[in-house]
């Protein structure tokens, strides 16, 4: 049952991901991205990462993707226009990526992972929250600063002056 769900989710993710990079209409790509991100959120749930799944949906689907759609709207270009949406290197890139993928799969299958036989705490929110405030407080603060800088930077860059 779980495996079946995994395959379904995996299929959704892979297909929508491929569509993201292949669709001509960038707006459609964005829609496919949303679908893909939902699939990933499903994978998180499958992996018992309930907090992350929530964050994924809230932040990615609700935040980043919307932001991208806004950007597409602002630049209002290319939607539905018959122009080349690939550069001159999709074929070599495809080949490279294919070989990379093969190499990765080969190395994954060859590697023997030491899988632990333990159960993770459920729900994870409290544990993550505590960890962020104790062991990972410094990275946490750094990330907050990074976000702030990115925010201000984005405003400064995009600002019309």
Partner 1 sequence: MIEYSYIIAFLPLLSYALIVFFFSKSNKMASGVAITAVLTSFVLSTIVLFEVLADHGPHIFEYEWISMPGLELPLSIYIDPLAAVMLMVVTIVSSCVHIYSIGYMHGDPRFPRFFSFLSLFTFSMLGLVISGTFFATFIFWELVGLTSYLLIGFWFEKKVAADAGKKAFITTKIGDLGFLAGLLILYAAAGTLNYEDIYHLIEHHQIPVIILSAAGILLFCGAVGKSAQFPLHVWLPDAMEGPTPVSALIHAATMVAAGVYLTARIMSIIVVSESAAITIAYIGGFTALMAASIGLVQNDIKRVLAYSTVSQLGYMILALGCGGYTAGTFHLMTHAFFKALLFLGAGSVIHAAHTNDIQEMGGLAKKMPITSKTFFIASLSIAGIFPLSGFWSKDEIFLSILEEGHIGLLILAIVVAGMTAFYMFRLCFLTFTGEPRNKEKYEHAHESPNTMTYPLIFLAILAVCAGWVGIPWLHHGYASFVYHHHPHHPHPNYMLMLIGTIVAVGGIYLAYLMYYKRSIDPVAMGARFKGIYTFLFNKWWFDELYMGTVIRFVYWFMEVLYRFDQGVIDWFVNFVGRFGLFNARFWQTFDVYVIDGAVNGAGIVTRWFAGGLRKIQTGAVQNYAFVVFLGVVLFILFRFM
Partner 2 sequence: MATLEHYLILSAILFCIGVFGLLSRRNAVGILMSIELMFNSANINFVAFSKFINPDILTGQIFSVFVIAIAAAEAAVGLAIVVLLYRNFDIVNIDKINFMKW
Q: At what angle do helices 137-158 and 125-133 cross, to 10 degrees?
A: 90
Sign of CA dihedral 142, 45, 21, 99: positive
**How near is the Cβ of 101 to partner 1 at its closest, in Å?**
10
10 binds, among partner 1, partner 2, none (CB under 5 to 8 A by kind): partner 2
Nearest to 20 by CA among 47, 39, 1: 39
Q: Any contact of residue 21 with partner 1 (CB under 8 A)? A: no
**How near is the Cβ of 96 to partner 1 at its closest, in Å?**
5
Nearest to 44 by CA among 31, 30, 59: 59
| Number of Cβ atoms within 10 Å of the Cβ of 66 | 13
* Nearest residue (CB) to partner 1, 109 versus 134: 109
**How near is the Cβ of 106 to partner 1 at its closest, in Å?**
8
66 binds, among partner 1, partner 2, none (CB under 5 to 8 A by kind): none
Q: Which 59-118 positions form the footprint of partner 1 (CB under 8 A)?
A: 87, 89, 92-93, 96-97, 99-100, 103, 106-107
**How near is the Cβ of 148 to partner 2 at its closest, in Å?**
9
* Nearest residue (CB) to partner 2, 75 versus 82: 75
What whole-number distance in Å separates Cα of residue 67 and Cα of residue 37?
Answer: 14
- What DSSP string describes 60-73? IIIIIHHHHHHHHH
* List of residues contacting partner 1 (CB under 8 A): 87, 89, 92-93, 96-97, 99-100, 103, 106-107
């Amino acid at each position: 049952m779980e495996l079946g769900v995994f395959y379904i989710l995996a299929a959704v993710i892979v297909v929508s991901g491929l569509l993201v990079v292949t669709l001509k209409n960038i707006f459609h790509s964005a829609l496919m991205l949303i679908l893909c991100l939902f699939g990933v959120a499903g994978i998180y749930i499958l992996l018992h990462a309930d907090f992350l799944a929530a964050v994924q949906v809230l932040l990615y689907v609700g935040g980043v993707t919307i932001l991208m759609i806004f950007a597409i709207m602002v630049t209002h270009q290319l939607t539905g226009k018959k122009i080349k949406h690939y550069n001159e290197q999709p074929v070599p890139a495809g080949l490279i990526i294919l070989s990379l993928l093969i190499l990765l799969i080969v190395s994954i299958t060859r590697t023997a992972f030491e899988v632990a036989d333990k159960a993770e705490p459920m729900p994870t929110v409290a544990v993550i929250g505590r960890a962020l405030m104790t062991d990972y407080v410094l990275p946490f603060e750094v990330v907050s600063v990074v976000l702030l800088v990115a925010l201000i930077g984005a405003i400064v860059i995009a600002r019309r002056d």
